[in-house]
Amino acid sequence: MSAAPSPVMPTYGRLPIALSHGLGCRVWDTEGREYLDALAGIAVNTLGHGHPRLVPALQDQVAKLIHTSNYYQAPLQEKLAAKLVELSGLTNVFFCNSGLEANEGALKIARKFGHQRGFDNPETMVFEGAFHGRSLATLSATANPKIQEGFAPLVPGFVRAPLNDLAKVEALLDAHPQISAIFLETIQGEGGINPARIEFLQGLRRLCDTRNLLLMLDEVQCGIGRTGKWFAHQWAGIQPDVMPLAKGLGSGVPVGAIVCGPRAAGVLTAGNHGTTFGGNPLAMRAGVETLAIMEADGLCAHAGAMGERLQAALKEGLAGVAGVKEIRGQGLMLGIELERPCGVLLTRALESRLLISVTAERVVRLLPPLIASAAEVDDIAGRLIPLIKTFCAEAPQ
């Protein structure tokens, strides 16, 4: 007798476990089995699970006020925005619910900025390997034909360039004079942990300044301390004009943000953009507490040190293994690229009680909570290295 179809829409290929609770970097499934979390809900659970300072703060907020609307003054929005402005050196913030919404808002800013410059059909430069979301506009900005399939016609107004090729960027800018913004992930996440090189980011900043364009850096996955600095672009010593954030900002509570510098800060005005849930008291309390705990515990520096330790262990353990192409990334955002698709490692890792991700078909992605200890990152490497060695030694299926 077959099971009744699920009432949940079948948009995910789910693994055969259900998680019930967690503590720190550990989670347990409904059968009582314990797992080491090297994924953090895809870079979301910055403080791990059940953090002893975050949980009571959220409980306190739930008892006071969860949601009102943006009709009223919002003191927690002011507090979180002020902290993001302080950490980034930028000017102001719009709050929303997710990375997709933050990126969608950034694209609206790019369009309006272009119209303010007198462009009839403003365009935005985007990049090969990019992933910015699944709405029609962000899907169109994304460089993945598989997730675009079936959703044509795509939104026009995007010019695609190769990552880390400044000469090609300049040529495309010359060929497309109505480009108003350059939009990229500082480190591509879904595309396979592909970093924009420091000199490339610095070159884009110069081009945007020279040509009066917006430099928009998507830090949805790589921001909020994950690379060892508050924002990944800070390694290049630059500032963007627009910076979408989400994922780790609320440690599991949905929070998105668009942080803008002076060139973009005044583009959106009353009536241009809005949200029902964005910036509600619960989400803002989560963001305020997350950043405060990170700062108090030095989690940016800790993430950088633990990332170096984990990357060194992986490089040592996988040195000379045929089938391993590259180990790359920064801080606790690491990718191990293999020579062939490796989705089977998801279920094999579960059998070793390890939560990981595989992205771009061939890249094992590691995004542990920023609280991960030295013993825990050693444990991640110790569980993962044998799985990759075994996989690479097998004949391709």
Neighbour-count burial of 144, counting CB atoms closer than 10 A to its CB (0-12 exposed, 13-18 middle, 19+ buried): middle
User: Binding site annotation covers 206?
Assistant: no
Q: HSE, CB side, 13 Å, CA atoms: give it for residue 3.
A: 3
User: Binding site annotation covers 275?
Assistant: yes
From the list 18, 80, 15, 56, the residue with the least C-alpha distance to 284 is 80
User: Binding site annotation covers 276?
Assistant: yes
- Would the CA dihedral through 26, 29, 31, 33 be positive or negative? negative
From the list 218, 14, 201, the residue with the least C-alpha distance to 100 is 218
User: Binding site annotation covers 134?
Assistant: yes
Contact at 8 Å (CB) between 378 and 309?
yes
The token duo for 259 is: 């942080």
User: Binding site annotation covers 219?
Assistant: yes
| Long-range contacts from 163-172, C-beta under 8 angstroms, 24+ separation | 163/127, 163/128, 163/129, 163/188, 163/194, 163/196, 163/200, 164/196, 164/197, 164/200, 165/200, 166/199, 166/200, 166/203, 166/204, 166/207, 169/125, 169/203, 169/204, 169/207, 170/207, 172/125
Contact at 8 Å (CB) between 102 and 244?
yes
Binding residues for N(2)-acetyl-L-ornithine: 134, 275
Binding residues for pyridoxal 5'-phosphate: 131, 218-221, 276
Binding residues: 131, 134, 218-221, 275-276
